[in-house]
Amino acid sequence: MGTAAAHSTDADRCQATAFFCSDYRHWNGPLNISQALRSLVGHAGFDKIAKPGAIHALVHGEEHHRRAILDDLSDLVSLHQPEWIYLIPHTDCGKYRLSFGQRDEAEQRQQLIQDLATVTTLILRYYPLVRVRSFIAVMKPDTLSDLEEVTSLVAAHIASLPSSMNDDQDHRGTD
């Protein structure tokens, strides 16, 4: 009793895992995305998964790609038991441009909210005990200009979906 955590100290425990785009511009300008995230969430410790498009492959990628990212996430959840998962795609993302062509910012945001809703639902299915927060990193041409939290917009989008899209298992939620 009381020895279960003997080999796992608080220093081993990271509070969050954050999904970023690999885009160099996130770290290139006066506003650094790690600092911007820290000031919004109020703690310093988060693991990083950086992929082109951030969450893009989890929605639009090939199955083996999607699986590889979920394996990375699974490792980090096992190692550090994060309380939070932060999803941080961005506007003017080259990976999204490759998939969808040139779009205006409103269309980009609409796509990102939709994808954030899909990924939030996916993550909560695997890890029902974590909490997910969603952000959109807003880009100027060469640098990050803002980081906006959109968790409530994503929740509203999820709530607006038919329940069959919230859950591709064949059971009914109790709502």
**For residues 71 and 69, what is the distance between their CA atoms, to the nearest angstrom?**
5
Rounded to a whole number of angstroms, the minimum distance from the CB of residue 154 to Zn ion is 18
Residue whose CB is less far from Zn ion, 20 or 46 = 20
Residue whose CB is less far from Zn ion, 73 or 139 = 139
**Contact criterion met (CB below 8 Å) for 39 and 9:** no
**Contact criterion met (CB below 8 Å) for 47 and 82:** yes
Residue whose CB is less far from Zn ion, 46 or 96 = 96
DSSP secondary structure code for residue 129 in this structure:
T
Rounded to a whole number of angstroms, the minimum distance from the CB of residue 22 to Zn ion is 7
Rounded to a whole number of angstroms, the minimum distance from the CB of residue 97 to Zn ion is 9
SS3 of residue 114 by DSSP: helix
Residue whose CB is less far from Zn ion, 33 or 77 = 33
**Contact criterion met (CB below 8 Å) for 36 and 29:** no
Residues of the shown chain interacting with Zn ion in the complex, contacts defined by CB under 5 A:
21, 23, 93
The pair of structure tokens assigned to 52 is 């082109």
Rounded to a whole number of angstroms, the minimum distance from the CB of residue 159 to Zn ion is 28
Rounded to a whole number of angstroms, the minimum distance from the CB of residue 26 to Zn ion is 8
**For residues 102 and 151, what is the distance between their CA atoms, to the nearest angstrom?**
25
Residue whose CB is less far from Zn ion, 21 or 59 = 21
Q: How far is CA 153 from the centre of its chain?
A: 14
